[in-house]
Amino acid sequence: MKTRDILITVTRTLTGWHVYNDHQFGRITACDPQAGYEITVNLPDRDTIRIVRTRYELEYELVEDNTVLDTADMGEEQTLDELARLLASPMPRTDRLMWLKDQFDKGAEWCRSTLHDEQEAKDTEDMAEHYMRVCESCNKFPELDPATVFEGWLRGEELGNPYETRRQAASHMLASVRRLDKE
C-alpha cells in the first residue's frame, strides 16, 4: 500500500485537521488542536495498519482505542475504505469520560457557591483528580470502561474510608457514574 494513498485518505476523512507524515517513525499523525484529538496511523510494513486515537485534556492523555486493521485479505480500495470508516467513527468512550469530569467540576462549583462548603468542594475536586488518573491508567486496557472501573474504586472508597466527607463525595460521584452508565 502506498503512503500517498493512506495520507490522502487521512486528509480527506479528517478535513480541517493538521496532518503530517513522519518519515522517521513511519506514521501519519493527524491532530485537531481545538478538540485536543490526535490520531496516529502507522504505515504498514506488513499486512497491518495500527490506528491509535487519543484525546489530550489538560495534562491527561485518554486513549479512545488502539485498533489494528488486518489488511492481508483486503484489496487496496477496501483497506482505504475501512481506514476511512475507522478514522471517521465517533469517540464515545472519551466523550463520556470528559462529560463525567465536567459533571464533577460542576458539582464542586455548586458545593462552593450554593452550600458554601469549601471542604466538600475540595473533596469532589480530589475525587475528580482520582477519576482522571484511573481513566488514564485504563489506557493500557482499551477493553475496560474507565467509568465502570472508577465505579468499583468508588464503592471501595465509600465503604472503607472513615472520613465522612470523603465518603459523601464518593457517594455523590458514584451516583454520577451510575447515571452516566444509564445514558
Half-sphere exposure of 182 (CA within 13 A, CB side): 6
User: What integer pLDDT is reported at residue 139 of this predicted model?
Assistant: 77
Q: How far apart are CA 98 and CA 96, in angstroms?
A: 6
Question: Is a pLDDT exceeding 60 seen at residue 131?
Answer: yes
The amino acid occupying position 21 is: N
Q: How far apart are CA 52 and CA 90, in angstroms?
A: 13
Contacts 24+ apart (CB under 8 A), 117-120: 119/165, 120/165, 120/168, 120/169
Q: How is the chain split into domains, by residue range?
A: 3-89, 94-182
Q: How far apart are CA 57 and CA 40, in angstroms?
A: 17
Taking only the tens place, the pLDDT of each residue in 26-84 is 999 999 988 889 999 998 877 889 999 998 876 788 888 888 899 988 989 999 999 99
Closest by Cα among 130, 133, 123 to 172: 123
Prediction pTM value: 0.68
How much is the average pLDDT of 145-160? 72
Q: How far apart are CA 151 and CA 134, in angstroms?
A: 10
DSSP 8-state code for residue 1: -
